[in-house]
Amino acid sequence: MAHTQWSPDAVIEAIQARHNDRLPLAWLIVKKREPDLLFAAEKFFGSWSKAIVAAGFDLRHTYWSSEKYFHK
């Protein structure tokens, strides 16, 4: 995997790309599969949930499961 130079914009783009690729956005799954993204999100936004919101998603209308992410 190539080294990513993380910035707030790069984190947002990566979250949106995961969503567009229909990859899970659940914290535990991202921690296991892309720990560098999770670390950067928490560094720049304070938490994974805040990074999800910064990426344009409303958590009140988001459904999480262990393997899937759905956005109404």
Task: Identify whether 43 is part of a domain.
Answer: yes
Please check whether residue 2 lies inside any domain of the structure. Answer: no
pLDDT of 3 reads 65
- When pLDDT is averaged across residues 13-18 and rounded to a whole number, the result is 94
* Structural domain for 13, as ranges: 8-71
With 0.85 as the threshold, say if the pTM is over it.
no
Q: Is 1 part of any domain?
A: no
Mean pLDDT value across residues 15-39: 91
pLDDT of 10 strictly over 50: yes
Residue 39 within any structural domain of the chain: yes
pLDDT of residue 66: 45
Using an 8 Å Cβ cutoff, are 52 and 15 in contact?
A: yes
Q: What's the domain count of the chain?
A: 1
